[in-house]
Amino acid sequence: MRIGFVGTGIMGRPMARRLQKAGHQLFIVRHRAAPPQELLDAGAVLVESATGLAEASDVVFTMVPDTAAVEDALFREQGVAAGLSPGKVVVDMSSISPSASKVFAERIRRLGCEYLDAPVSGGDMGARDGTLSIMVGGDRDAYERVKPLFDVVGRTVTLVGGAGAGQLCKVANQMIVGINIAAVSEALVLASKAGLDPVQVREALLGGFASSRILEVHGQRMIDRAFKPGGRIELHQKDLGLALAEAEQLGVATPMTTVCRDLMDACAAQGGAGWDHSALIRAYELLADHQLSPV
């Protein structure tokens, strides 16, 4: 297929590369930064505008940081929408407001095209390995058309409902991920300050009911102080803000999400907006006046 891809950063670049390797023709555009040379060397076509990208493509993907960036990519002058013709599909894989996603879907459908919101979970590792979990909202026929492309970049692909449903599912995902990062941070700092070796504590916990992907991957990052971002604190702040906004609209109590967002805010206030979200442990270390370290 002829695929347009807007947003080739930490997540978008490896996703776009996997689509190339699967034999699809890739069209990219400069978006906030120079396009990755790796994609160009592999045959990607660099076009002058998002409008030109949409004109050249059957399916257009967006993978950008937030709601405002998606709206800009789609609807600005020389944006994606201006280059669409009936029958094309727009797939937003960013993590944005569920309510805004419904509005964007309606605007794209008025052009005779389909819109899928398809945010992902799995981080940069999942993007590289093609093991992302993809949560999709939108029309089933459009989903079935794009499913072979989803299967290239994801291991678990689920149509969870209509427009906006994928984004709401991602909000729930980020609540669970953030709260689990907080739980692992809290437990490891407690054990470490008590004099236990966090390396051994993590190994012991991985063998029991407390085992989780967060403990496995982010627990190791905490021990190694490996906070180069896969998923940045500032993006998780944004996602938890979306969760709290949806919860307020629905009248749902979210005390743990609220605390987790406060801890993310504390990290950002210490200059950590660009840290990996596993660096949430630094907020706990500050409160405990103790830095995690192997014995």
Task: Say which DSSP state 83 is in.
Answer: G
**170 catalytically annotated:** yes
d(CA 72, CA 94): 13
Q: Which of 88, 102, 170, 238 is catalytic?
A: 170
CA atoms within 13 A on the CB side of 6: 33
Closest Cα to residue 261, out of 222, 248, 94, 93? 248
d(CA 240, CA 212): 21
Residue 25 phi, psi (nearest 5): -80, 125
Closest Cα to residue 59, out of 3, 21, 128, 125? 3
Closest Cα to residue 3, out of 121, 109, 113, 149? 149
CB count within 10 Å of CB 143 equals: 21
Give the residue numbers annotated as catalytic, written as ranges.
Answer: 170
